[in-house]
Amino acid sequence: MIVRLAEGPLRTKFGTFLEVLYYDGQQELVAIVMGDVRQGEHILCRLHSHCLDAHVFNSTECDCREQMEIAQALIEQQGAGVIIWLDQEGRGNGHLALMKSRALQEQGLSQTEAYLQLGYAADARQYGRAAEILHDLGITSVVLMTNSPHKIESLQAAGITITGTQPLVLDPGENTMLRRRYADKIAQGHRIHLAPEQV
């Protein structure tokens, strides 16, 4: 069960959001909201997991920072939406798992294969708390900004109505690691459509 702790304005380069801080008894969760979303339908929504390397250290090995920026920009254009920040580093396995997996990825394993070989779950992320936050915000239905069927299925199982999806995909260009990450995600069922030379 979540508890709303505090809220206040958050000024960003994509406009001013309302930042809402929650606590679930173990960790903090944050929702940033733009516009009047209560009783809103088809509200743009992004569930975004913590990524220390990308958001703090500007890593080029994933697209987490860019996906956050795209989500905020789309919400600014729409005038309303919500992003829920979840402390689920390393696909929910933690930063240690992420760091350990790098050596195996350098040997050619995908991130999924590396996690499994190390004894971690391929994806341990959970989205039940995010669903509780959406209910608390009074959102009726969402357009989910994601490529992940796992997020869609998890929210639907928690009673959230999803009326559409908005994929967030970058052109990996010459970034070999990002191309490999996308290939891994496609193998896990993510809805990513790239030209053959891009994966």
Q: What is the pLDDT of residue 197?
A: 45
Between CA 20 and CA 32 the distance in angstroms is: 6
For residue 140, being part of any structural domain is answered with yes
Does residue 173 fall inside a structural domain? Answer: yes
Q: How far apart are CA 81 and CA 162, in angstroms?
A: 14
Q: What is the count of structural domains for the chain?
A: 1
Q: What is the CA angle 81-87-93, rounded to 5?
A: 130
Residue 144 maps to a domain:
yes
Q: Exactly one of 24, 65, 102, 123 is catalytic; which is it?
A: 123
Q: What is the pLDDT of residue 155?
A: 93
11-44: pLDDT as tens digits: 999 999 999 999 999 999 999 999 999 988 999 9
19-35 per-residue burial string, b: 16 or more CB within 10 A, e: under 16: bbebeeeeeebbbbbbb
SS3 state of residue 24: coil
In a domain, 50, yes or no: yes
Spatial contact of 125 and 86, defined as CB atoms under 8 Å apart = yes
Q: Calculate what percentage of the chain has a pLDDT beyond 70.
A: 84
Write the CATH number for 73: 3.40.50.10990
Nearest one of 36, 54, 45 to 72, comparing CA atoms: 45
- The pLDDT of residue 9 is 98
User: What angle in degrees, to the nearest 10, is found between the helix axes of 128-136 and 149-157?
Assistant: 60
Residue 91 region by backbone torsions, left for phi larger than 0, else alpha for psi between -120 and 50, else beta:
left
Of 46, 63, 91, 125, catalytic: 125
Contact 112/187 with Cβ under 8 angstroms? yes
Tell me 197's DSSP state: G
Residue 123 annotated in active site: yes
- 3-class secondary structure, 27: coil
Whether residue 143 lies inside any domain: the answer is: yes
Which range of residues forms the domain containing residue 169? 3-88+125-190
Q: Quick check: is 198 in a domain?
A: no
Question: In order along the chain (199 residues), what is the average pLDDT of each group of 10 residues?
Answer: 96 97 95 94 94 89 88 96 95 91 88 92 91 95 90 91 85 64 61 49
pLDDT for res 80: 96
